[in-house]
Structure formats: C-alpha cells, structure tokens
Amino acid sequence: MNRKLYLILITSVSALGGLLFGFDTGVINGAQYFLSQYFDLDSTMKGWVVASALLGCLFGALAAGYISAKIGRKYALIISAVLFTLSAWGSGLPAFLPESVSLLVFFRILGGLGIGIASMCAPMYIAEIAPSKKRGILVTFYQLAIVVGFFIVFLVTYLIGKNLSVAENIEFGWRRMFWSELIPSTMFLILLFFVPKSPRWLYLNEKPEEAEKTLVKIHGEKLAELESKQINDSIKENKKKKNVNFFSKTILSIIIIGTVLSMLQQFTGINAVLYYGADIFEKALGFGKDDVLQQQILLATVNLVFTFIAMFSVDKFGRKPLIYIGSVGMITGFLLLGVSLQQESVGIISLIGVLLFIASFAMSMGPVVWVLLSEMFPNRIRSTAMSIAVAAQWATNYLVSQFFPVISESETNMNSFWNGSLPYFIFIGFIIFIIIFTYKFIPETKNKSLEELEDIWEK
C-alpha cells in the first residue's frame, strides 16, 4: 500500500475517537431539551445530566496515562470504543431497564470514561506516528473528526426530531438520538484492530523489531532509520536521567503550561455554546422551538468549514499565529452577541456573533490546542503529562457545563443591566488572557520533531 495512503488511513481510524468525542458530547445537545421535559428537570439537574459525562471524561483522562503506558495507545483506544458502545446503548434506557435519571447519568459517565481515554490517546497516537512536517495537519484530523461528529449528530438529532411530534420526541425521540451512536462506535471498535501499535511505545517497551516495521511502512526505509535513531537517542538520554522528577523546575513548568493551555480551551465558552446551543437559540436569540435544531446544523457547518481552514494553515503559518487570529475573532463574536443582548436588540447581529465565535474557535483553539498538547511534552513524561492536561481540560469543561445554565438563568444575569449577556463577557475575559498566556509561555512547534522539541524546554 502507498505510504501516504497508509498514514492517512491509520490516522483516520484513530481520529474516529474524536468523531465519537464530538458525537457523544453533541448528542446531549439535541436530546437534553426533550429528556429534560420527560424527567421534568430543573436547571440544576439539567446541568448535572449534561455535565455528568464530563466527570467520566475527567477520570478517563486520568486513567488514560497509566493505561496507554501499560498496554499501549492502540489497546487503550479499543477500551474507549467498548465504553462508547455500552454508553450509547444504555443512555437510551432500553425497555427492560428501570427508567431513572440516575441510570441515565451512569451510562453518560460510562461514555465519558471512553471520551476521556480517547481524547488523550488518539491525538498522542497520531503525533507519535506522524512525520514532523505533517504532524500539524494529521493531528488536526482529530479535531476535524470532533467537528464532523458534532455535525453528524446535529443532523441526526434534527432528522429524528423533525419526523416526530413534540410529544413523541419527549416520550422516545431522545432515546433514538442516543442509540444512533451505536453505528460509529461499533465501526471504531472493529477498525482499531487493523491499526499498528505506536512505534515510540514499542521502543519504550523494548520491542524494536515491531517498531521498525511500522516506521518503514509509514516513512520508508531511509526516513525510518533517521526516525528510529532520534527515538532511541532520546530514550537512552532519558534512561541516563533515571527516574523522572515531576517536581523539578523544568518538568513541572512544562506540565503547568500544558495544563493551563488545555483548560483555557474550555474557558473560551465553546462547549457552553455547543452543549446548550438549543437553549441559546431559543431563549437568547429568540428562535422558535421548530427552528432550534435547524440552527444547530448551521452552527455545525461553520465549525466544520473553519476546521478545514485550520488543517491547511497550522503547518504553514504555525500554531501561535492561529491562536492570536482566532482569539481576536472569538472576542469580536462574543462582543456582538453580548452587546446585542445587553441592548435588547437580539437579531441577525446576535446570530452573526455566535457564528463568528464558532468559526474563530474552529480555526484556532479547537485544533491548535490538541496539536500543541500532543507534541510539547517530552517522550519520558508524555503519557503522564498529557493525561494530567487532558483531565484538567475535562474538569474545566465540567465546571463550565455545570454552571453555565445556572449563571444564565440567575437573577443577576437576567436583570435590566446584563439582560442575559453576563456569561459571554466572562468568556471574553478568559480569551484576552489566552492571548497574553500564549505570547509569554507557548513555544512555536512547527516543523520540529518530537525529540527536537524536548531540547526547547531544556534551554
């Protein structure tokens, strides 16, 4: 098989973890409006049903470091695929299962464990098999897959909801929305058995022959020899340092910087918009219930188009310039939305603000954070450091998802001054901080091998 095609195929299979990430977290967007009425949930319980999966994501990401180091990235992803499948089946609460919010939350948490493992292992696996000059675009396959997952699930939930009455959607439509995930999760599980193990993991676990075969398949003999030498030199150097001191100044600094960057992705407010988009369109933007899911497809389409722009820009322009450009766009988008809400002039300007925010995120903090996290950590700490950074991201995601509806529906936010705009001005403050943090602490990683990047932190 052609090496380029082989690389794209195994990247695409591992990136399906991102598609399920987007599908699983996005399905709650279309389903929560109906299941909230079915179970008669107040704002706090609605936040709990949505955010409970994120607790699973947190613990899944924490466990992923140990699991991926012990059994490898490939088998860690297989475990995540099994969890996705169980969650999709159980979240619809089949007839023979007792109906309760607690049981629904249990299966949502189960899916969250799968997302947490996949969100750490998939981009790391892709980074470890990718040539340095193509690593940016290949890792953004993962973000593209997340966006495609959101797009597909918005389309699926729209079609399911459209063909049923409101009463039918409340009674059983939301169940079908959850069960629709069984198709991609089963596909992910089957295809994972056909991808190779990470060559860097194989070298770390003293399986050089298998690692070399994989490198030759991906890079060809000449480049595989060079890649093999760099990996082995890095491993030998790390062995000289013996045990890793995670509290040393250099290592701790890398982990803190990566963790803060990971958390800031969520403090942009992206998942508040994606998870509660239906509520935003209905309450804040004045759309009718019949238009809500249709507007979500528009949102997902913009997300998809601008992720493609990021894919073909990240290796050309670099990681930091995209963050700067995207941050300015996100601030502008939320200003349009926030001011229009504050001035009680909700309309097309408000919608443009939401779409501008989504477009700007999709070409910056969405894909670029995953690229940076997958490449900024040295080999000897990559599993542990990325596990911490991704777990922190899910903890932040949980906080935003749990408290966004509470703040949105609070008396303060609904008073005559804010008029529902307060959350968006809070997010603007965090986005301004992203620009400052990136300028001061994030190195440019374009066109550098994973082993070369280790030297940056040592200087």
The predicted pLDDT at position 275 comes to: 67
Q: Is the pLDDT score of 242 beyond 60? A: no
Out of 150-164, 230-244, 295-309, 402-416, pick the least confident: 230-244
Single pTM value for the model: 0.81
Q: Is the pLDDT score of 259 beyond 70? A: yes
d(CA 206, CA 219): 20
The predicted pLDDT at position 264 comes to: 97
When pLDDT is cut at 50, 70 and 90, the band that residue 397 belongs to is confident
When pLDDT is cut at 50, 70 and 90, the band that residue 451 belongs to is low
When pLDDT is cut at 50, 70 and 90, the band that residue 121 belongs to is very high
Q: Are the C-beta atoms of residues 423 and 272 closer than 8 Å to each other?
A: yes
Length of the chain: 459
- Percent of the chain at pLDDT above 70? 92
Q: How many domains does the chain have?
A: 1
When pLDDT is cut at 50, 70 and 90, the band that residue 290 belongs to is low
CA angle 38, 44, 47 (to 5 degrees): 75
CATH number at residue 228: 1.20.1250.20
Q: Is the pLDDT score of 405 beyond 90? A: no
Burial of 379 (0-12, 13-18, 19+ CB in 10 A): buried
The predicted pLDDT at position 368 comes to: 94
Tell me the residue range of the domain where 433 lies.
Answer: 3-458
Q: Is the pLDDT score of 437 beyond 90? A: yes
Q: Average pLDDT in the 290-317 region?
A: 82
d(CA 355, CA 334): 10
Mean pLDDT of the chain: 87
The predicted pLDDT at position 305 comes to: 92
- State residue 451 phi and psi, 5-degree precision: -75, -35
Q: Which residues contact 429 (CB under 8 A, 6 or more apart)?
A: none
- How many Cα atoms occupy the beta-carbon half-sphere of 322 within 13 Å? 30
d(CA 16, CA 194): 13
Other beta carbons less than 10 A from residue 308's beta carbon: 14
Other beta carbons less than 10 A from residue 249's beta carbon: 8
Q: Is the pLDDT score of 39 beyond 60? A: yes
Q: Which residues contact 436 (CB under 8 A, 6 or more apart)?
A: none
- With b meaning 16 or more CB within 10 Å and e meaning fewer, what string describes 198-225? bbbbbbbbeeeeebbebbbbbbeeeebe
For the residues of 66-81, what is the DSSP string, one character each? HHHHHH-HHHHHHHHH
Q: Are the C-beta atoms of residues 128 and 5 closer than 8 Å to each other?
A: no
When pLDDT is cut at 50, 70 and 90, the band that residue 22 belongs to is confident
pLDDT digits (tens, 9 = 90+) for 412-425: 998 889 988 999 99
The predicted pLDDT at position 284 comes to: 63
**CA neighbor of 232 nearest in space, from 84, 120, 379:** 379
**CA neighbor of 77 nearest in space, from 134, 4, 140, 21:** 21
* Residue spans of alpha helices (H) in 285-364: 289-311, 314-317, 319-342, 348-362
- The residue among 379 and 93 whose pLDDT is bigger is 93
When pLDDT is cut at 50, 70 and 90, the band that residue 47 belongs to is confident
CA angle 416, 404, 438 (to 5 degrees): 105
**CA neighbor of 35 nearest in space, from 47, 46, 22, 43:** 46
